[in-house]
Amino acid sequence: MVEKIAYRVSASVLLLAALAILAMLVMGLTRADAESASGRSKPVAAENAAPEPVVENASLPEPMVTEPLEIAETLPLNDTFVVKRILQIDEPFVHGYYKWDDEGVPEGELVVTVDLKAESISVFRAGYEIGAAVITFGDSEKPTPTGVFPITQKSKDHVSNIYGSPMPYMMRLTNDGVAIHASDVKWGWGTRGCIGVPLEFARRLFEQATLGDRVIVTNGKMMNIGDAIL
């Protein structure tokens, strides 16, 4: 009886031991599969791959550099002179009329003023008005611009490359074709933005004006003795 019980106990112990060993084997295989799967999910570095360089004090990329826009030279604003004389005009100041008198006037800076409202042009040298005339100017389709413009080109026998019409004694003010030039000045006539003056007046102004001389175009500003001309 005792032997039978001992045999059963021994058999049970052996069975439990066998089950324990089998369980350990199963767990070992499962762990190996998990590690193998984990290894496949991660990239494997090449054995001889060079390490990535470390950049110290890295700065932001430089901004793209573009060519600067060409800017027209601005006219100085601090060189002014005062009106010292206004021409005495006793005749009717009508279309086609002009007056020019530079006798005794000293040499000096030349400035031209145009008043569209008064339909007139004045030429000052060293502050003395030496010429004045009635003008024609732009119509509603192509008005004459106001502002301060330097004379950028002179052409005695110029012909418009836009309209094909002659523009004697042309003095250019803008790049789009506005200029002072000789014209048949008549009441009710207009231009395509240019300032038209009598032929002889245009010739005299052309002879005295130089490139860079300023033309001041306003719409209702009259000049009096003692006023500063910018």
Specify if 92 maps to a domain. yes
113, 23: one domain: no
**pLDDT band at 155, cuts 50/70/90?**
very high
Between 60 and 169, whose confidence is greater?
A: 169
> Would you say residue 50 lies in a domain?
no
DSSP state of 115: E
| Position 158 in a domain | yes
Structure tokens at 72: 């027209």
Domain-located, residue 67 = no
Q: Is the pLDDT of residue 104 over 50?
A: yes
State which residues form the domain around 143.
Answer: 81-229
Judge if 106 and 192 occupy the same domain: yes
- How many CB atoms are closer than 10 A to CB 205? 26
Of 34-48, 105-119, 123-137, 187-201, where does mean pLDDT reach its minimum?
34-48
Would you state the pLDDT for residue 17? Answer: 55
The proportion of the chain whose per-residue pLDDT surpasses 70, expressed as a percent, equals 65
Q: Is residue 202 included in any domain, yes or no?
A: yes
Q: Verify that 206 and 95 share a domain, yes or no.
A: yes
Pick 204 or 56 by higher pLDDT: 204
pLDDT band at 189 (very low <50, low <70, confident <90, very high): confident
Q: Is 52 within the bounds of a domain? A: no
Encoding tokens for residue 174?
Answer: 């803008």
E strands of the chain, at which residues? 81-82, 98-100, 110-115, 120-125, 128-134, 147-150, 153-159, 166-172, 179-182, 195-197, 214-218, 228-229
The CATH number of whichever domain residue 96 belongs to comes to: 2.40.440.10
> Do 203 and 98 share a structural domain?
yes
Residues 12 and 89 occupy one common structural domain: no
8 domain-assigned: yes
Closest alpha carbon to 85 in 224, 229, 228: 224
Average pLDDT over residues 40-63: 35
Q: How many domains does the chain have?
A: 2
- pLDDT of 38 reads 41
pLDDT over 90, % of the chain? 50
One domain for residues 33 and 86? no
In a domain, 219, yes or no: yes
Q: Which pLDDT belongs to residue 139?
A: 86
Confidence of residue 80 (pLDDT cuts 50, 70, 90): low
Residues 121 and 222 in one domain: yes
Cα distance from N-terminal residue to C-terminal residue, the chain: 137
- What's the chain's average pLDDT? 75
- Please check whether residues 33 and 85 belong to one and the same domain: no
pLDDT score of 127 more than 80: yes
Helices assigned H by DSSP within 73-213: 199-208
